[in-house]
Chain A
Amino acid sequence: MTATLASPTTSAPAVPLRRPSLARLTMVELRKLVDTRAGVWLMVAIVLSCIGFATIQLFALDPALRRFEIFFLGTLLPIGILLPVLGILTVTSEWSQRTALTTFALVPARSRVVGAKLAAGMIIALASLGASGLIAAAVNLVAMAIGGDAAWGIGLAQVGAAAVMQLINVTMGIAFGMLLLNTPLAIVSYFVLPTIWSVLGGLVSWLATAARWLDFSLTMAPILNGATLTGQQWAQLGTTTAVWVVLPLLIGTLRVLRAEAP
């Protein structure tokens, strides 16, 4: 609902008011992600799980595999699992804490709030790559000291694919949050539904073909393995994204635009 309307009866305020820019709203949403204890602890949990995962890699892996690229790819998994929870919370906390009331009173065009939340989630997703790089670099330095390949190279395509993966993960979290507007329900659905689907795909033979196109654990696997994705693999990832991210995102957005503020 873009409204440039000024009814003829409007008495103009002394200073013409402008609506807050999308950039400003995005800054506010970013700030909301980290200004509560829950948000801070989730960030800490993400960083700690990355460090933990990389440390296990450091000692478990063959010395020849102790290199930056492997450590970098290793951090993607814990971040990819926990970051979407942040995406879910950015939406559902507005309902559970009932702050949607004040958020939408200040910004009645709810689509702009949705846009700002998506933008904030994407910024966090891209920033997480920096964190992945930093943690991987630190672990690689240790690898250098304790013995290992400790090579620094990584392909640009791999970093790009990693970025796509984290963007998908966070967006899926936000989409599930908007679809369900309930923290526990959204978190459980986010983790359980794809898992059930994966298990079914593995058990039922006639579902296996569909799973190759619709199961993130399969279509994201090449990224986590550091492979350069083929055209078909991109198509498979795209199809999975359409079903698990774009569709809930569209329905979820409609729901937020229409839902009664709590």
Chain B
Amino acid sequence: MIVVKDLTKRYRGRTVVDRVSFTCEPGTVTGFLGPNGAGKSTTLRMLCGLTTPNGGTTAIGGVPYAALPNPGREVGVLLDASAWHRGRTGRETLLLAAAVLGAPRDRVDQLLRLVGLAEAAGRRVGGYSLGMRQRLGIAYALLGDPRVLVLDEPANGLDPEGIVWLRTLLRQFADRGGTVLLSSHLLREVEAVADRLVVIDRGRIVAEGDKDHLLAGSGVRVRARDQQAFQERLVAAGLSVTSATDGALVVQATADQVGEIAAACGAVLTELRPSVDGLEELFLTMTRTHTPQGGNR
């Protein structure tokens, strides 16, 4: 359980995190979304006791991170996949952490296999690709068998196969009762795995809630064999219709409504599904329409 309350951070008078509050429950994956520079990393660093906030509190399982006796046993943290000593091997990096955590040595080899680094374990991290460093970071986070995971942009640098693997891993972790908080600046990386979304922009939370709830307002994508005629039908039915970049129609309605109209006019639909672009749009509009906050002290 992660509780962030009224968290605030100012750098030289500029407020980079502004009264941010959210909660992550056990058994859920929370996607922490926002454009680059929105304050995601600063929030996560404050959560992990690496940056001192100017105001607000954070707690993991009821206590501030810094008060956890052996934090790595309770919270798996990956804040920056490039922050490894380039001269150490992957295995040595994990062995050092295992020594601090009091984790058994064979757990290191077990995790190296889990993240697919068993063969590269003896090589220096300086020679790893970004994807391999992310995998090392995920192994590092899981080393202490924690109940909570805090991951900053973990999908960055992973290949599509790796992203699917990570999703499955996080899903299983949450299904076993774990709490996952992962950040991303890309909606697509998060939407497939997250139960909840917290969207931040310019230091402020602009949306928070169940993913499905946030998705609900974003309509459906539809393609018809006779696109033009069908669009006219939809408009005639009083629905709001826009065109997606790939030519599909985005309709602010349920699939049920659109299907009914199609049946009524005998249109042949070639596609009808919840609009992914809609969520992307939602994300973009939320972050765009937010007025610049120059007046902050």
For the complex, is A261 an interface residue (Cβ under 8 Å from B)? yes
Report chain B residues within 8 Å CB of A105: 48-50, 71-72, 77, 79
Report chain A residues within 8 Å CB of B71: 105-106, 108
For the complex, is B70 an interface residue (Cβ under 8 Å from A)? yes
For the complex, is A20 an interface residue (Cβ under 8 Å from B)? yes
Nearest CB in chain A: distance from B3 CB, A:
10
Report chain A residues within 8 Å CB of B140: 102
- Indicate whether A101 sits within 8 Å of B79 (C-beta atoms), given known contacts A36-B85, A261-B45: yes
Report chain A residues within 8 Å CB of B68: 17, 108
Nearest CB in chain A: distance from B61 CB, A:
6
The binding surface of chain A is classed by DSSP as loop
Taken together as a complex, chains A and B put the C-alpha atoms of A102 and B99 apart, in Å, by 13
Interchain Cβ contacts within 8 Å, total number: 107
Task: Name the residue of chain B whose CB is nearest to the CB of A27.
Answer: B99
Report chain B residues within 8 Å CB of A98: 80, 82-84
- Indicate whether A13 sits within 8 Å of B74 (C-beta atoms), given known contacts A25-B100, A98-B83, A108-B49: yes
Nearest CB in chain B: distance from A95 CB, A:
10
For the complex, is B73 an interface residue (Cβ under 8 Å from A)? yes
Q: B102 touching A20 by the CB < 8 A rule? A: yes
Taken together as a complex, chains A and B put the C-alpha atoms of A104 and B52 apart, in Å, by 13
Q: A7 contacts which of B63, B65, B77, B92 (Cβ < 8 Å)?
A: B63
Q: A7 touching B99 by the CB < 8 A rule? A: no
Taken together as a complex, chains A and B put the C-alpha atoms of A50 and B74 apart, in Å, by 47
- Indicate whether A108 sits within 8 Å of B100 (C-beta atoms), given known contacts A97-B85, A98-B80, A98-B82: no
Among A35, A38, A105, A108, the most chain B Cβ lie within 10 Å of the Cβ of: A105
A-B pairs with beta carbons under 8 Å apart, 13 shown: A6-B63, A7-B63, A7-B67, A10-B62, A11-B61, A13-B147, A20-B70, A28-B99, A35-B92, A37-B124, A97-B85, A98-B83, A261-B45
Residues of B within 8 A of A (CB): 1, 45, 48-52, 59, 61-63, 65-74, 77, 79-80, 82-88, 92, 96-97, 99-102, 124, 140, 147
13 other contacts beyond A6-B67, A105-B79, with CB at 8 A cut-off? A1-B66, A7-B63, A10-B61, A11-B1, A20-B102, A28-B100, A36-B87, A37-B124, A97-B86, A97-B87, A105-B71, A107-B100, A108-B48
